[in-house]
Amino acid sequence: MLMQTVQTTPIADQKPGTSGLRKKTAVFRASHFLENYVQSIFDGIEGVLGKTLVVGGDGRFFNDIAIQIILRMAAANGAAKCIVGQNGLLSTPAASHLVRLRQADGGGLILSASHNPGGPDADFGLKYNGPNGGPAPEAVTNKIYERTKVIDHYKTCAADDIDLAIVGMQTLGNMTVEIIDPVEDYAALMQKIVDFDKIRALFAGGFTMCFDAMHAVTGPYAHTILEGMLGAPKGTVINGIPSTDFGKGHPDPNPAWAKVLMNIMHSTDAPDFGAASDGDGDRNMILGRGVYVTPSDSLALLTAHANLAPGYQDGVAGVARSMPTSRAVDRVAERLGIGCFETPTGWKFFGNLLDAGKVTLCGEESAGTGSDHVREKDGLWAVLLWLNILAETQRSVAELMMDLWATHGRCYYARFDYEDVDSAKATEVIDGLRPKLPMLAGARIGGLQVQMADEFSYVDPVDRSRSDGQGIRLVFENGARAVFRLSGTGTQGATIRLYLEQLETDHSRLQEDPQKVLANVRDAALTLSDLEAIIGRTAPDVIT
C-alpha cells in the first residue's frame, strides 16, 4: 500500500461548534477540507497510532465517500482498527455505545449534521467523540481547532475502497476494518435497560403507535426493535428507510418539521403514542393522542418515573439539564430529593457529570434526552423508556402529563428562532443586552418584575473547567424566564434563540394555549432587547 504525505495549507473557519464541525456539503467536499479536519482531529488527540476507532454516520449524501477518505487516513496514520457500521450507518447513540463497548481508545468519528437537511446543496458534519463515547470536551476541540490553523500536511494512502456492505473483517494496509451490524449491540443494550416483555404485552394488547424515522438513520433501529423484537404491527414505523437527502425533508423532530406525524397524532384515528427521531437518531419527539410533550416536560416525566424501568430500578442519582431547558425537571428533582445540575447548551457538558456518577438522566430543550447508558442523547432510548412507563402505569400520555403538572406545576415553554441573521446584527443584540444586566434586578419590564439577570457561566463541578458567555438569563418574580443565546450549530449566518418559560401552579390553568401564557414574558424580552428592530424582523422563523 502506497503511503502518501500530502502538503496542504490551513482552511479558514474550521472551528467546531456546539456539536462538531458543520458546514455546507460543498464546503466539506472542497479540496483538502475534510482531510485537513480529519488530520487535525488525529493530531489533536496525540495521534491514532495503534488505536481503535469507531466510524459511522447518518447516511446523508457524502457519508460513504467521507468514510472511505477517513479509513485511508486512519490507516496511513497507523490506526490498528476501525469499527464501521454496515453501509456506513451508525446512529449517534449507537456509535457512542460502540466506543464504550469495544473500548475504542481512539474514540469515534461520527459523520452527521444531525437534524440539518442532507444532500449536495444541504449540510454535512463531522463530530469527534472521545474514548468515553461522548462529544469531545472543549479542551480537545480547542486543540483540534488550533491544529486546523497551522496544518501543513496530512497522511493518506492509495488503496481500494472498503466494501461497506459486507459484515466482517477486511484489511486496509496494516489496519483492520471490521464492518458490523449497526443495530445489534444497541438493541442488546436497550434490552438491559427497559422491560421488553412489558412493552411486548402492551402492543399485544392493542396499543398503537406511530414512529416517524424521518427517512434517517433510526429507521433500521426502529424496524428491528419496535416491529421486530417488541411485536408492534408492521407499519408502526414510517419513513423508515434512510435516504441520502432524508426524503428532501428536514429531519428535525419538532412540531415545525415533523408535520406529518403531528397531523397523524391530532387526527380522529390517532394512535395511542407517537414519536420521531432526527437525522442521526439522538433527538426525539414525544406525542400522545392530541398531545405534544415538550422536550423539557419529557425529561421531567422520565425523571419522575424512571424507576419503573429495570435499568433505573434503584432510582436516579441526579439529573442535569442545559440552561435554556425549562425548569420542570428541577421541580421533580426537588421532590425526589436528588441533585439537579444546570449546564451550558451542548451534550459535551453532561459527560463529566455522567462519568462521575453525579447524574443518571439529562436533557436539553432541543429534543435531546439521555442517560448514563451512553454519552450522547438517545432518541430511541427515550421512546422505549416512555413505552416502558406507559406499559407499567397503564396511563395515557395525556394522563401522565396532567399528573405531572398537577403535582409539580406546569412550565409553559417555547423557543423562538431567528435564523440566517446577519452575524454583526446578532452580536449587536447580545452586546446590547450585556451592559443592561447589572441594573435589571428589581426593575419592571412591561409589568414583569426582574428577579435576576446575568450572563450564564459554568464551572464544571468535576474538572473545574470554566465556560463563559453561555447565554443571557432574565428571571422574573412570577416564575417567568427568558433566555437569549446565539446558536453554535448553524451553517448560514447567525441564529438567535429566545427561550421563554412561565410556571403555572394554578390547577385550573394547566391546559392553556402556551403562546398566550407566554405573551407577557415574550413582550418583556423583546422590549428589553429590541431584538426584532435591530435585526429588522417582525417574527421568528420557527417557534418550537
Residue 273 or 347 with smaller CB distance to ligand G1P: 347
Residue 278 or 417 with smaller CB distance to Zn ion: 278
Least Å distance, CB 202 to ligand G1P, is 30
Residue 280 interacts with Zn ion (CB under 5 A)? yes
Work out what residue 497 binds among ligand G1P, Zn ion, none; the CB cut-off runs from 5 to 8 Å by kind: ligand G1P
Work out what residue 277 binds among ligand G1P, Zn ion, none; the CB cut-off runs from 5 to 8 Å by kind: none
Residue 20 or 106 with smaller CB distance to Zn ion: 20
The CA distances from residue 18 to 348, 351, 486, 489, in Å, are 8, 14, 11, 6
Work out what residue 520 binds among Zn ion, ligand G1P, none; the CB cut-off runs from 5 to 8 Å by kind: none
Phi, psi of 464 (to 5 degrees): 65, 10
Least Å distance, CB 282 to ligand G1P, is 7
Work out what residue 280 binds among Zn ion, ligand G1P, none; the CB cut-off runs from 5 to 8 Å by kind: Zn ion
Least Å distance, CB 303 to Zn ion, is 21
Question: To which residue does cell 417555547 refer?
Answer: 414
Least Å distance, CB 322 to ligand G1P, is 6
In angstroms, the CA 496 to CA 429 distance is 9
Residue 18 or 244 with smaller CB distance to ligand G1P: 18
The CA distances from residue 516 to 251, 521, 532, in Å, are 28, 10, 19
Sheet containing 273-277: give its strands across: 237-238, 209-212, 273-277, 284-288, 291-293
| Span of 274-282, 289-297, 298-306, 445-453 interacting with Zn ion by CB under 5 A | 274-282
408, 328 contact by CB (below 8 A): yes
Q: Where are the alpha helices (DSSP H) in 364-480?
A: 379-393, 397-408, 423-433
Among 282, 330, 372, 376, binds Zn ion (CB under 5 A): 282
How far is C-alpha 511 from the chain's CA centre?
28
The CA distances from residue 241 to 62, 87, 213, 238, 480, in Å, are 17, 13, 8, 8, 42
Residue type, 38: V
| Span of 245-253, 272-280, 325-333, 523-531 interacting with Zn ion by CB under 5 A | 272-280
Least Å distance, CB 455 to ligand G1P, is 16
Least Å distance, CB 312 to Zn ion, is 23
Work out what residue 346 binds among ligand G1P, Zn ion, none; the CB cut-off runs from 5 to 8 Å by kind: ligand G1P
Among 64, 227, 278, 504, binds Zn ion (CB under 5 A): 278
Residue 173 or 490 with smaller CB distance to ligand G1P: 490
Task: Work out whether strand 410-421 and strand 368-371 pair parallel, antiparallel, or are unpaired.
Answer: unpaired
| Span of 32-40, 45-53, 95-103, 280-288 interacting with Zn ion by CB under 5 A | 280-288
Residue 173 or 370 with smaller CB distance to Zn ion: 370
Residue 280 or 297 with smaller CB distance to Zn ion: 280
| Span of 48-56, 95-103, 107-115, 400-408 interacting with Zn ion by CB under 5 A | 107-115
50, 80 contact by CB (below 8 A): yes
Residue type, 83: I
Phi, psi of 427 (to 5 degrees): -65, -35
Q: Write the DSSP symbol of residue 289.
A: T
Least Å distance, CB 346 to ligand G1P, is 5
Work out what residue 208 binds among Zn ion, ligand G1P, none; the CB cut-off runs from 5 to 8 Å by kind: none
Least Å distance, CB 280 to ligand G1P, is 9
Residue 115 or 410 with smaller CB distance to Zn ion: 115
In angstroms, the CA 28 to CA 13 distance is 12
Residue 114 interacts with Zn ion (CB under 5 A)? yes
In angstroms, the CA 372 to CA 311 distance is 10
Work out what residue 278 binds among Zn ion, ligand G1P, none; the CB cut-off runs from 5 to 8 Å by kind: Zn ion
The string of DSSP letters for 110-168 reads EE--TTS--STTSEEEEEEE-TTSSBPPHHHHHHHHHHHHH--EEEEEE-PPP-TTS-E
Task: Work out whether strand 21-24 and strand 123-129 pair parallel, antiparallel, or are unpaired.
Answer: antiparallel
Least Å distance, CB 444 to Zn ion, is 40
Work out what residue 58 binds among ligand G1P, Zn ion, none; the CB cut-off runs from 5 to 8 Å by kind: none
Residue 224 or 487 with smaller CB distance to ligand G1P: 487
In angstroms, the CA 544 to CA 126 distance is 26
Q: Where do contacts with ligand G1P occur on this chain (CB under 6 A)?
A: 18-19, 114, 322, 345-347, 364, 366, 368, 487-489, 497
Q: Write the DSSP symbol of residue 282.
A: -
So which residues are the catalytic ones? Answer: 114
Work out what residue 371 binds among Zn ion, ligand G1P, none; the CB cut-off runs from 5 to 8 Å by kind: none
Residue 19 or 77 with smaller CB distance to ligand G1P: 19
Which positions ≥6 away from 533 have C-beta within 8 Å?
A: none
Work out what residue 345 binds among Zn ion, ligand G1P, none; the CB cut-off runs from 5 to 8 Å by kind: ligand G1P
Least Å distance, CB 99 to Zn ion, is 17
| Span of 73-81, 125-133, 211-219, 273-281 interacting with Zn ion by CB under 5 A | 273-281
Query: Packing angle between helix 33-44 and helix 63-76, nearest 10 degrees?
Result: 50
The string of DSSP letters for 214-281 reads TTSTHHHHHIIIIIIIS-PPTTSEES-S--TTGGGS----STTT-HHHHHHHTSTT--SEEEEE-TTS
Which positions ≥6 away from 36 have C-beta within 8 Å?
A: 8, 10, 11, 14, 148, 151, 154
Question: Torsion over CA of 100, 103, 105 and 110, rounded to 10 degrees?
Answer: -40
Q: Which residues bind Zn ion (CB under 5 A)?
A: 114, 278, 280, 282-283
